Amino acid sequence: MSDFPIILHHFDQSPFSEKIRLIFGLKSIAWSSVRISRIMPRPDLMPLTGGYRRTPVMQIGADIYCDTQCIMRELERRFPKPSLLPDGHEGLAFASAMWTDRSFFQNTVNLVFGSLADQVPADFIADREQLRGAKFDVAAMTAAIPVMRDQYRAHLAWIDAQLCDEREWIFGEQPSLCDVNAYMNIWYVRSNLDDADDMLAEFDHVRAWAGRLRAVGHGPRSEMTSAEALEIATRATPQTEELSDPGDPNGRKPGDKVEVMPDDYGKIRVGGEIVALSAQHIALRRHDPRAGEVVVHFPRAGFLVFPA
Ligand SMILES: N[C@@H](CCC(=O)N[C@@H](CS)C(=O)NCC(=O)O)C(=O)O
């Protein structure tokens, strides 16, 4: 096990970060919180990620984990007990992110920003327009609230249907990554909208389940500055061991120079040399003038890999 602290670069209002904070709670992991700005610039974080700018990012020494899928995988590997991958549900526990983080989350975002409307700060809108390469159209989101309520309700009804036999968690007796992934959307709406609980009123099982998750908390948290986190990376050596994947469909292998980027938005390419890869994970070695040598980890689903 690493001597370095588990560091989460996040901001308190971030729903994707809430997933990871909740996992710290479920697994009782002590962690160091680096609060980053909600908008760019993040001058002490970019040397670590190589330009990846989504939130959250986990850092352990000079190993940097981008995207909640990748962070969850690494936390399961390092802290397997209690497992959030119940027997027989390992695949869907991870795959649920493709439902909760995309279709479900788009409804959630629309409801939140469409309702906040004029209160959304101009600098936040400008930042997210740059991130998406498209207009962050709050007026259109406000107009779409009725249809988004329908969509949000449909997603809630799926969760309620899973829970209707009085089970405590989506897959049964044990909480899983699917619970964490889905809960993010309820947490985010509740954190922002006064009428959030009205939308939950008809879903008794969802309300009880969300109450159980809220009660979990975030585990032992301490604060650290971004400068301290960067300093830790400069002192550390990446711990990732070389791993090849004989089944890689494109014949990629350790030593190849590639670029990796998300397939949805924030499409910034991060370049480096492959250290390890598998069907679900790719790790790149990079050298940065401030951070030194780091290994940056990404998931495969939802990310594109190009030869450099
Ligand atoms: N697929 C990513 C999505 C993360 C994401 O979109 N996070 C939001 C904040 S909750 C974000 O990055 N917003 C832009 C930013 O923070 O720069 C993940 O699972 O971590």
Q: In the predicted model, is pLDDT for residue 12 greater than 70?
A: yes
Same domain, 167 and 230: no
Whether the Cβ atoms of residue 270 and residue 262 lie closer than 8 Å to each other:
no
Same domain, 281 and 210: no
Residue 218 Cα to ligand 1 middle (Å): 19
Query: Domain end: 216, 244, 277, which one?
Result: 216
Is residue 1 included in any domain, yes or no? no
Best probe residue, ligand 1, of 10, 13, 40, 55 (max atoms within 8 Å of C-beta): 55
CATH value at residue 192? 1.20.1050.10
Q: Kindly indicate the confidence band of residue 138, based on its pLDDT and cuts at 50, 70 and 90.
A: very high
Which sign, positive or negative, has the C-alpha torsion 65, 68, 69, 72? positive
Residue 165 Cα to ligand 1 middle (Å): 34
Residue 157 Cα to ligand 1 middle (Å): 25
Q: In the predicted model, is pLDDT for residue 2 greater than 80?
A: no
Is residue 269 included in any domain, yes or no? yes
Strands 257-262 and 270-278 turn out to be antiparallel
User: With 0-12 CB in 10 A as exposed, 13-18 as middle and 19+ as buried, what is 26?
Assistant: buried
What pLDDT, in 10s, does the model give residues 47-74? 999 999 999 999 999 999 999 999 999 9
> What mean pLDDT, rounded, does the chain reach?
97
Q: In the predicted model, is pLDDT for residue 1 greater than 80?
A: no
- Looking at the 3D structure of the chain, how many domains does it have? 2
Ligand 1 site residues (CB inside 6 A) read 14-16, 53-55, 67-69, 101, 131
User: With 0-12 CB in 10 A as exposed, 13-18 as middle and 19+ as buried, what is 98?
Assistant: middle
Atom of ligand 1 nearest to the CA of 36: 16
- Domain of residue 203: give its range: 90-216
CATH value at residue 259? 3.40.30.110
Same domain, 12 and 129: no
What's the one-letter identity of residue 198?
D
Is residue 47 included in any domain, yes or no? yes
